[in-house]
Amino acid sequence: MAGLPYIVGNWKMNGTRAMLNEARAIDRAAARFPKVQVAVAPPATLIYRTRDAADIIGVGGQDCHAQESGAFTGDISAVMLKDAGADFTIVGHSERRTIHGETDADVKAKAEAALAAGLGVILCVGETEAQRDAGQAEAVVGAQLEGSCPQTDGAPEKLSVAYEPVWAIGTGRVPSVEDVAAMHKSIRDKLVAIYGEGGAEVRILYGGSVKADNAAELLSVAEVGGALVGGASLTAESFLSIVGAAASLAAD
Ligand code: PEP
């Protein structure tokens, strides 16, 4: 898998203009970690201002609509995200899949629209606790990938996949390193099955309760190319401790 470790903060529905101070602090510190690719996905209201406040880090959306424009009240298109200064967008986060009822087909259309607009894509997949307990985790995630990976000629260079077990998001619980390794291998195999050899280059992130004290262990697992971080990305201090852990590993 090519590329620098990618550490992305998902601020979810958190942050008003005061949060730009965190973005500035993250951006300033990112200069000290050239071996790590750092990004944040603030709420859409802050994308433009975050881009303006930060020079080095990536700035992204948390979702996009599949259409370019039209009568979709409250939605934001990938073209609009790009216009606001976004470099990438998250699609298919479990909170979108669950709370907003997004299907794999919806997620696929969003990912394709984002790529067409020139954005990078972080496509989220992950099983529920019941699915894991039933021994279905790899099958569920494999089916999500089959249904939601963008259809392109070869593997999109700007695609990353984030494995986020739903039961680990915001709970303080994380899978064992063995389970993370097994799932990431299974995702890799599926990406190669979908895209051919280019599937070996798609970055696979882990997400779900990544914190300063578990980041190094999780980031050391084979096929883990970075982390999608929710709660611990809301202050520069906690987020940068994860970026620092990635930098130490990248320096080895
Ligand atoms: C997320 O929701 O993408 C996430 C990883 O959240 P947390 O780190 O808070 O578990």
- Our mutation pick for probing the ligand 1 site, out of 62, 93, 206, 229, counting the most ligand atoms within 8 A of Cβ, is 229
- Within a 13 Å sphere around the CA of 161, how many CA atoms are in the beta-carbon half? 33
122, 158 contact by CB (below 8 A): no
Closest CA to ligand 1's atom 2 = 230
With 0.75 as the threshold, say if the pTM is over it.
yes
Q: Dump pLDDT digits (tens) for 129-146.
A: 999 999 999 999 999 999
96-104 contacts at long range (C-beta below 8 A, 24 or more positions apart): 96/63, 98/166, 103/147, 104/143, 104/144, 104/146, 104/147, 104/148
Could you tell me if the CB of 94 is within 6 A of ligand 1? no
Between CA 100 and CA 108, with CA 102 as vertex, the angle to 5 degrees is 145
Is residue 127 flagged as an active site residue? no
Residues annotated as binding site? Answer: 10-12, 170, 209, 230-231
Ligand 1 binding pocket includes 231 (Cβ within 6 Å): yes
- Please enumerate in sequence order all residues whose Cβ is within 8 A of that of 233, keeping only pairs 6 or more positions apart, or say none: 8, 9, 10, 11, 40, 239, 242
pLDDT band at 154 (very low <50, low <70, confident <90, very high): confident
**pLDDT tens for each residue of 12-70:** 999 999 999 999 999 999 999 999 999 999 999 999 999 999 999 999 999 999 999 99
Is residue 93 part of the annotated active site? The answer reads yes
